[in-house]
């Protein structure tokens, strides 16, 4: 970029005056705040001030000290890198299809918190996860929450129209029941002298909750004809099902044409899975197709304990004695460290086998807050977010002010290097950057590339001033290809460091052939308006060349080359011959 530019000279002079004013203002504010002291967070290293003085020879002893310090800094960097590598989180896996208990075990082993919600789902069995909010392969931190949805199985409250059972076969009824997840459809058979074998004799729906429809859990009894009764066929003698296993009871019923229905009840004395009672007494004879109801024990009733009366250390032992699965979670709360907060299943609730009871204990009701002064706003907000995921409920309130610090730097902090309670609010003051003035990016219409501002020139200026340009390509008559002809902030207007400015420029898609500038003078080149096709930079050569006094003898782009309009071409002019006669030099001067 050509720094011998009138725009840069005037702009730099204006910026030097502004820096002088800022320095005076900063000194005045420092005097007012004498006595205030902000401690820096451990591990934060201030950037070293660049010393522009001439180097001074360092004694050998000092060189050893400097080498020792450099080695220490290198060691700290290596340790920090290893720490970040080991704490970069874990990779999320696919939990869909897992049981809730298996997912909880994976979460505990990986330091992840599961947020479980439950919904009815026809595609997944009860207790199986069917959705998660974080996709497989995503990297997450330890302590992050993962929301999963666990299936409650089929929603038995769904209603369906009553089909025409009288025109259906047994296979069709069974297919309809399976397709619609009907849980209490019972098909029995009986002899009929009028209805042919396999046809429905009648059906009964014992459910007062519906009228013209049935629920998935409505008891439906369908009786199908077995044809005329064979008088020679013997009746079935009912065995004592109480001494049989459920599998043996089903096998006997299948062999003898009986229909079994199973109901489950809790029983403090009968082992789980044992048959407690039967609807038809043992040794009684019944015809084939008779329905028999068996009551099966669900085992002893287990009530969920009140874990608020149990310490965190004893919770696992108490749960293990009762056969209850638990997970222990910790989060910040209003309770002191180690105190009980809540449990996911209420005390004295009947425990369902396989259910995981989540227990929450307090990490603490106080939090140590370091000083973030001199660091960025992102640093304190990331710190607060991490603690808030554990229930800290910390809020950050930020205000901005202009300063010589980089944008986003924290200047003041209301609470630092102390202990705060949960739900605390922390106020910070954040630098919005120094005040700068918008440059003049738009040259007068009809200017050549020596004055016109192109995208490349504007980008260099914006980088120097720490402002963000947004370039928009748009046609404008009378403007050179690539020339900026509009700026969203007027030249000379105040703006903050880090602000954005929109710059519109003409499309720069014109290709030109580089002329041969050899032996042309600067005046001839400008007279031919070559500066409206190229960004021409003139420079004087270091040595005299005969025949080229004030004329071009070298050009940065070779003649005949194809290049974009507005490309920079540096032309080297031959210097004028200086007379060796001192008298002539004096006379010329």
Q: What distance in Å separates the CA atoms of residue 424 and residue 562, rounded to the nearest whole number?
A: 66
Torsion of CA 70, 71, 73, 78, to 10 degrees: 140
Which tokens belong to 372? 């973030």
**396 found inside a domain:** no
| Among 223, 302, 308, residue whose Cα is nearest residue 267 | 302
Whether residue 584 sits in one domain with residue 472: no
3-state secondary structure 469-538: EEEEECCCCCCCCCEEEEECCCCCCEEECCCEEEEEECCCCCEEECCCCCCCEHHHHHHCCHHHCCEEEE
Range with the poorest average pLDDT among 34-43, 164-173, 185-194, 227-236:
34-43
CA distance 580 to 522: 26
Cβ–Cβ under 8 Å, residues 167 and 203: no
386: confidence class by pLDDT, cuts 50, 70, 90: very high
pLDDT (tens digit per residue) in 248-263: 999 999 999 999 999 9
Asked whether residue 504 falls in the same domain as residue 514, the answer is no
As a dihedral over the C-alpha atoms of residue 516, residue 518, residue 524, residue 529, rounded to 10 degrees, the angle is 30
| Percentage of the chain lying above the pLDDT 70 cut | 84
Residues 282 and 215 both lie in one domain: yes
The last residue of a domain, from among 297, 321, 347: 297
Q: Report yes or no: 228 and 192 within 8 Å, Cβ to Cβ.
A: yes
Buried b (16+ CB within 10 A) or exposed e, 527-547: eeebbbbbbbeeeeeeeeeee
Query: Are 203 and 285 contained in the same domain?
Result: yes
Give SS3 for 364: coil
- Residues 219, 315: one domain? no
Contact 116, 100 (CB under 8 A): yes
Give the β-pairing of 113-119 and 145-151.
parallel
Q: For the chain, what percent of residues have pLDDT higher than 90?
A: 49
Q: Does residue 182 sit within a domain? A: yes
Q: What is the mean pLDDT of the chain?
A: 84
Is 560 domain-assigned?
Answer: yes
CATH number of the domain that residue 96 is part of = 3.30.10.20
Q: Which residues pair with 200 in a beta bridge?
A: 224
Specify whether 341 is located in the same domain as 461. Answer: no
Residues 553 and 588 in one domain: yes
pLDDT of residue 60: 56
The encoded tokens of residue 504 equal: 């519109």
Render pLDDT for 137-162 as a digit per residue (tens, 0 to 9): 999 988 899 999 999 999 988 999 99
Q: How far apart are CA 293 and CA 286, in angstroms?
A: 14
Number of domains in the chain: 5
Return phi, psi of residue 525, to 5°: -65, -45
Average pLDDT over residues 341-365: 92
Q: Is residue 451 part of a domain?
A: yes
Confidence band of 490 (pLDDT split at 50, 70, 90): very high
Tell the residue number behind the tokens 């014992």, with chain if given: 206
461 with 553, same domain?
Answer: no
Comparison of pLDDT for 80 and 430, the residue scoring more: 430
Regarding whether 164 and 145 lie in a shared domain, the answer is no
Give a yes or no: residue 278 inside a domain: yes
**Is the same domain home to 214 and 229?**
yes
Written as six digits, the tokens of 73 are 């800094």
Q: Is 109 exposed, middle or buried (0-12, 13-18, 19+ CB in 10 A)?
A: exposed
CB burial string 410-421: b at 16+ within 10 A, e below: bbebeebeeebe
Residue 29 lies in a domain: no
Do both 139 and 197 map to the same domain? no
Contacts of residue 166, Cβ cutoff 8 Å, sequence gap at least 6 = 200, 203
To which H or E segment does residue 26 belong?
helix 6-32
Q: Which residue has the tokens 């609730």?
A: 349
Tally of helices (H runs) and strands (E runs) in the chain: 10, 33
61 lies in some domain: no
Residue 513 to residues 516, 530, 561, 563: CA-CA distances in angstroms? 10, 11, 6, 6
- The DSSP line for 96-145 is TT-BHHHHHHHHHHHT-EEEEEEE--SSS-TTBEEEESS-TT-EE-TT-E
CA distance 505 to 485: 6
Across 452-473, average pLDDT: 91
Give pTM, 2 decimals: 0.38
Domain finish residue from 483, 508, 533: 508
Q: Which string of DSSP letters, residue by residue, matches 193-227?
A: SSSPTTSEEEEEE--TT-SSEEETT--EEEEEE--
Q: Could you write out the DSSP letters of every residue in 416-439?
A: -SEEEETT-EEEEEEE---EEE--
Q: Which of 151, 169, 187 is the last residue before a domain boundary?
A: 151
Burial of 206 (0-12, 13-18, 19+ CB in 10 A): exposed
Provide mean pLDDT across the span 189-206.
Answer: 87
Q: Are residues 172 and 288 in the same domain?
A: yes
pLDDT digits (tens, 9 = 90+) for 47-59: 455 444 444 444 5
Closest CA to 228 of 252, 201, 262, 210: 201
Q: Is the pLDDT score of 21 beyond 70? A: no
Q: Which domain holds residue 193?
A: 159-297
Examine residue 65 and state whether it is found in any structural domain, yes or no: no
């Amino acid at each position: 970029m050509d720094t011998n530019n009138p725009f840069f000279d005037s702009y730099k002079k204006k910026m030097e005056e502004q820096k002088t004013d800022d320095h005076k203002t900063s000194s005045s504010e420092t005097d007012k705040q004498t006595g205030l002291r902000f401690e820096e967070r451990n591990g934060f290293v201030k950037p070293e001030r660049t010393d522009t003085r001439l180097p001074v020879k360092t004694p050998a002893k000092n060189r050893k000290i400097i080498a020792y310090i450099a080695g220490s800094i290198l060691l700290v960097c290596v340790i920090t890198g290893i720490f970040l590598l080991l704490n970069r989180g874990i990779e999320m896996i696919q939990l869909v299809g897992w049981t809730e208990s298996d997912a909880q075990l994976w979460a505990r082993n990986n330091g992840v918190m599961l947020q479980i919600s439950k919904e009815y789902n026809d595609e997944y069995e009860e207790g199986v996860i069917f959705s998660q909010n974080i996709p497989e392969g995503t990297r997450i931190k330890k302590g992050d929450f993962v929301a999963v949805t666990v299936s409650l199985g089929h929603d038995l409250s769904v209603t369906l129209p009553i089909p025409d059972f009288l025109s259906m076969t047994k296979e069709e009824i069974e297919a309809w029941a399976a397709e619609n997840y009907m849980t209490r459809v019972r098909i029995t058979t009986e002899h009929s002298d009028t209805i042919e074998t396999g046809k429905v004799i009648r059906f009964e729906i014992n459910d007062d909750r519906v009228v013209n429809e049935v629920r998935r859990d409505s008891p439906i009894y369908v009786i199908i004809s077995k044809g005329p009764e064979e008088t020679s066929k013997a009746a079935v003698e009912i065995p004592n099902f109480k001494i049989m296993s459920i599998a043996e009871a089903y096998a006997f019923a299948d062999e003898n044409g009986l229909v079994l229905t199973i109901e489950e009840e809790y029983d403090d004395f009968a082992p789980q899975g044992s048959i407690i009672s039967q609807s038809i007494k043992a040794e009684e004879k019944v015809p084939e197709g008779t329905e028999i109801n068996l009551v099966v024990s669900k085992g002893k009733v287990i009530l969920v304990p009140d874990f608020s009366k149990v310490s965190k250390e004893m919770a696992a032992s108490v749960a293990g004695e009762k056969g209850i699965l638990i997970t222990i979670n910790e989060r910040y709360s209003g309770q002191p460290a180690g105190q009980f907060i809540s449990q996911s299943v209420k005390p004295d609730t009947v425990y369902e086998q396989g259910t995981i009871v989540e227990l929450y204990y307090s990490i603490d009701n106080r939090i140590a807050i370091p000083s973030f002064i001199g660091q960025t706003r992102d640093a304190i907000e990331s710190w607060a977010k991490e603690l808030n995921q554990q229930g800290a409920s910390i809020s950050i309130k930020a205000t901005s002010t202009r300063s010589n610090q980089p944008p986003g730097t924290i200047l003041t902090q209301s609470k630092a290097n102390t202990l705060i309670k949960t739900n605390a609010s922390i106020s910070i003051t954040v630098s919005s950057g120094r005040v700068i003035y918008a440059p003049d990016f738009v040259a007068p219409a009809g200017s050549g590339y020596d004055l016109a501002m192109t995208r490349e020139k504007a980008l260099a200026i914006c980088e120097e001033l720490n402002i963000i340009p947004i370039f928009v390509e748009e046609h404008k008559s009378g403007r050179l290809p690539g020339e900026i002809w509009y700026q969203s902030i007027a030249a000379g207007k105040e703006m903050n460091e880090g602000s954005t400015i929109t710059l519109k420029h003409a499309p720069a898609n014109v290709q030109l052939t580089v002329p041969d500038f050899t032996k042309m003078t600067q005046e001839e080149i400008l007279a031919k308006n070559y500066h409206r096709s190229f960004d021409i930079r003139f420079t004087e050569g270091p040595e005299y060349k005969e025949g080229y006094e004030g004329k071009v003898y070298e050009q940065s782009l070779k003649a005949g080359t194809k290049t974009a309009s507005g490309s920079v071409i540096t032309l080297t002019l031959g210097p004028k011959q200086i007379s060796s006669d001192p008298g002539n030099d004096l006379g010329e001067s």
